[in-house]
Amino acid sequence: MTIDLIRELKSELIISTPELKKRVVIISQADKLNIESQNALLKLLEEPREDVLFILETHTLEPIISTIKSRCWIINFNPLNPDDVENFLIQKFSNQIEQAIISKVCSKFNGENLSELIETLYEFIELKKRDEEIDLNDDSNKISFIELFRYLYLSNFYKSISYLDQFNILVDRREAVNFLNELLKFCYLVLKTKLSEENKETDLIKLSRVIDETKFQKVISYLANSQQYVENYINLSLIFIKLFILIKNSFIKN
């Protein structure tokens, strides 16, 4: 939750709701709030409304500032059982995702990351929807981007830029849009492989294992808006430099 969302929450809570006797605000992963956001939240907790109950969920109290902790009633829960988590997620998602994929995602459960696993499964559902919009198996005008990602993984930006020369995309805006659309398809395929590893291409599996799926979502979001960037940027090179930085930052650091 960002500071802007907390400010928006404050505005919402100011509004009286006579039809509701109580309102409950649940803040998940409160330990991930930065100091600025925590201080904004503190102001809400310092002047609580009688009809509002705040529930802060966290796996560790250490990042939470003491002034927030002093205003909360701390309740500890026993760790979740991995089998119970898997059964719960299978029951919740089995009509949308294959059970084998749910089990694979659940294998990453460490006792503290249930919300992250649920986010991952929702991402996979979104990818399945994208499959209907974008044919990831379409081989027409297909470009292999493994080489480009290898250059970026090795921080070789010179070869990465040189790689683009063969496609004439730094001078032709139409070619740039086509290239970025193909790269978007490829990135969806990488993320899908990351979540399921159902793809049989060895290079693609290797690539998917060295990316951070959360950071890689930023790459996909950037590519999804790429046509707008191509239309508005005078220098096409700037678009690709920023893209390369996003891709480079999405790799898992050893």
| pLDDT score of 185 more than 80 | yes
Render pLDDT for 203-235 as a digit per residue (tens, 0 to 9). 888 888 899 887 888 898 888 888 788 887 778
How is domain 146-249 classified at the architecture level of CATH? Up-down Bundle (1.20)
174-183 pLDDT, tens per residue? 888 889 988 9
Distance between CA atoms of 219 and 243, rounded to whole angstroms?
A: 7
As a whole number of angstroms, the distance between CA 41 and CA 32 comes to 13
What contacts 52, CB < 8 A, 6 or more positions away? 13, 22, 23, 24, 25
Selection from 114, 111, 110, 118 nearest residue 92 by Cα: 118
Q: 197-207: b or e for each residue (b if 16 or more CB lie within 10 Å)? A: eebeeeebeeb
Q: Which amino acid is at 7?
A: R
Q: Which of 56-70, 90-104, 225-239 has the highest mean pLDDT?
A: 56-70
Read off the tokens for 155: 């921080």
Predicted pLDDT of residue 136: 47
At residue 1, the pLDDT reads 63
Token code pair at residue 188: 């969806």
| pLDDT (0 to 100) of residue 118 | 85
Please, what is the average pLDDT of the chain?
82
Dihedral (C-alpha) 246, 134, 146, 116: value to the nearest 10 degrees? 50
Q: Would you say 210 and 254 are in contact if contact means Cβ atoms under 8 Å apart? A: no
Is CATH 3.40.50.300 the classification given to domain 3-69?
yes
> Is a pLDDT exceeding 50 seen at residue 139?
no
Residue 134 pLDDT greater than 60, yes or no? no
Looking at residue 70, its pLDDT comes to 93
Assigned token pair, 183: 């790269």
* pLDDT at residue 232, rounded to an integer: 79
Residue 246 pLDDT: 93
Span of 12-21, 26-35, 144-153 with lowest mean pLDDT? 12-21
Residues 46-57: pLDDT tens digits?
887 788 899 999
pLDDT recorded at residue 87: 92
What integer pLDDT is reported at residue 130 of this predicted model?
61
